[in-house]
Amino acid sequence: MEHPFPRPKVLVSRCLGFAACRYDGQQLHSRIVAQLLNHVDFIDVCPEIEAGLGVPRPPIRLCLQDNKIEVWQPAESRCVTNALQKAAVFLAQDITNLDGAILKTKSPSCALQDAKIYNGTDKPQFLQRGSGIFGTLILEGLGHKAVEDEQRLTNRSLREHFLIKLFAWTRFRTIAVTPRMADLVDYHARHKLLFLAYNQKRFRLCGKIVANHERLPAKEVFHQYEQELGQILLKPFLSKAMINTLYHALGWVSEDLSSREKHFIINAIEEYRDERVSLQVVTRLIEAQAIRFNHEYLLGQVLLQPFPAQLSDLSDSGRGRELL
Ligand code: SF4
């Protein structure tokens, strides 16, 4: 059963399939960006073009100089910090209404965490890795939403977490436009099984916010809920917690199943525990039973389809696993 999905608004590094704007005049292909084209509204930006550095251009690098990060263009022996900073601030000015971002890894402008930083501009030595000039602003303003670099999204678990987070934030944004308590109650209820797998404690705090015993204005309640939502979705769910949730979901239909049917699904959950099948295999089995028995509560749960099925992709580079 297909659920309607709102279209997320996602900021993306322009070189990831939108224009040949890299320093060497190339553009790159990102599988996840290509897959998302039919499902999200991308806002593509290139901070280095915005800074007037042109294409092609001599590469730039981040250097720590007098305790400050400077952007140095060695071939031109010039500092372009101000131009890039100004461009980055301009491009990041309207990001609060976005649901996420996919940025280019390792770029001195766009990287979120792995741009090379050198010690000084003269005979520079590699010092450490850190965020690029634009990446820093995106983390500051949008870091609680679905923000990742394209390379980490080649890891299956990180990609699944990114997509769950992206669509959860998009659903929240669509109801937050006109804050109504009934919409928030419904949002909270429909995300119950999913959020229980993410963070039970925070989910219960959200429950208290939604109960609104202080009778606060809806706008204030939405604001409080948004803060907690960021905490719920901060880290990927643990598979142990997801397995408990899957058993919980199965509990809603298990009385109507024959023992053979029940054991078939239990086996699938255990196969998921052993990493032999994907989460979607199990949720699809449970969803099939929910459809069979017309189980409205389960069919309304986001857990069964947290993002469009067409975005399910089992490919896995294994990269970024250590960062989970
Ligand atoms: S990494 Fe960022 S600054 Fe560099 S070409 Fe891509 S979009 Fe432009």
Question: What pLDDT digit, counting tens, does each position of 25-82 carry?
Answer: 999 999 999 999 999 999 999 999 999 999 999 999 999 998 999 999 999 999 999 9
Residues 147 and 183 in one domain: no
Q: How far is the CA of 19 from the centre of ligand 1 (A)?
A: 10
Q: Is 104 in the pocket of ligand 1 (CB under 6 A)?
A: yes
d(CA 2, CA 307): 10
Residues 217 and 179 in one domain: yes
Q: Count Cα atoms within 13 angstroms, Cβ side, for 220.
A: 7
Whether the per-residue pLDDT at 321 is higher than 70: the answer is no
Residues 282 and 205 in one domain: yes
Mean pLDDT score, 235-254:
96
Strand order in the sheet with 68-73: 78-79, 68-73, 61-65, 115-119, 125-130
Q: How far is the CA of 310 from the centre of ligand 1 (A)?
A: 28
Q: Can you count the helices (H) and strands (E) in the chain?
A: 13, 9
Mean pLDDT score, 173-192:
98
Domain boundary among 107, 136, 154: 154
User: Which residues span the domain enclosing 317?
Assistant: 156-324
To the nearest whole number, what is the mean pLDDT of the chain? 94
Residue 77 lies in a domain: yes
Residues 208 and 132 in one domain: no
Residues 208 and 240 in one domain: yes
Q: Is 191 in the pocket of ligand 1 (CB under 6 A)?
A: no
Nearest atom in ligand 1 to the alpha carbon of residue 23 is 5
The distance between the two most distant Cα atoms of the chain, rounded to a whole number of Å, is 75
d(CA 164, CA 104): 21
Q: Is 110 in the pocket of ligand 1 (CB under 6 A)?
A: yes
Mean pLDDT score, 293-321:
86
Higher pLDDT, 317 or 224: 224
Residue 4 lies in a domain: no
Residues 309 and 251 in one domain: yes
Please tell me the total count of domains within the chain.
2
Return the best residue to mutate from 30, 48, 105, 151 for the ligand 1 pocket (most ligand atoms within 8 A of CB): 48
Instruction: Name the residue at shortest CA distance from atom 5 of ligand 1.
Output: 22
Contact 111, 21 (CB under 8 A): no
What is the pLDDT, as a whole number, of residue 316?
75
Domain boundary among 101, 129, 154: 154
Q: Is 103 in the pocket of ligand 1 (CB under 6 A)?
A: no
What is the pLDDT, as a whole number, of residue 7?
97
Nearest CA to 35 out of 52, 51, 16 is that of: 16
What is the pLDDT, as a whole number, of residue 320?
59
What letter would DSSP give residue 252? T
Q: Is 107 in the pocket of ligand 1 (CB under 6 A)?
A: yes
Q: Is 108 in the pocket of ligand 1 (CB under 6 A)?
A: no
Residue 3 lies in a domain: no
- Quickly state the pLDDT bin for 284 (edges 50, 70, 90): very high
Residues 301 and 160 in one domain: yes
Nearest atom in ligand 1 to the alpha carbon of residue 48 is 3
- % of the chain at pLDDT higher than 70: 97
Residues 85 and 233 in one domain: no
Residues 110 and 234 in one domain: no
Residues 222 and 93 in one domain: no
Residues 53 and 150 in one domain: yes
Mean pLDDT score, 289-309:
95
Mean pLDDT score, 82-93:
98
Mean pLDDT score, 243-254:
96
Domain boundary among 114, 137, 154: 154
Q: How far is the CA of 20 from the centre of ligand 1 (A)?
A: 10
320 phi and psi, to 5 degrees? 80, 0
End-to-end CA distance of the chain: 31
What does the pLDDT look like over 116-164, one tens digit per residue? Answer: 999 988 778 999 999 999 999 999 999 999 999 999 999 999 999 999 9
- % of the chain at pLDDT higher than 90: 91
Record the pTM.
Answer: 0.94
Residue 282 lies in a domain: yes
Residue 273 lies in a domain: yes
Residues 298 and 189 in one domain: yes
Nearest atom in ligand 1 to the alpha carbon of residue 104 is 1
Three-state SS at 146: strand
Q: Is 47 in the pocket of ligand 1 (CB under 6 A)?
A: yes
Q: How far is the CA of 109 from the centre of ligand 1 (A)?
A: 7
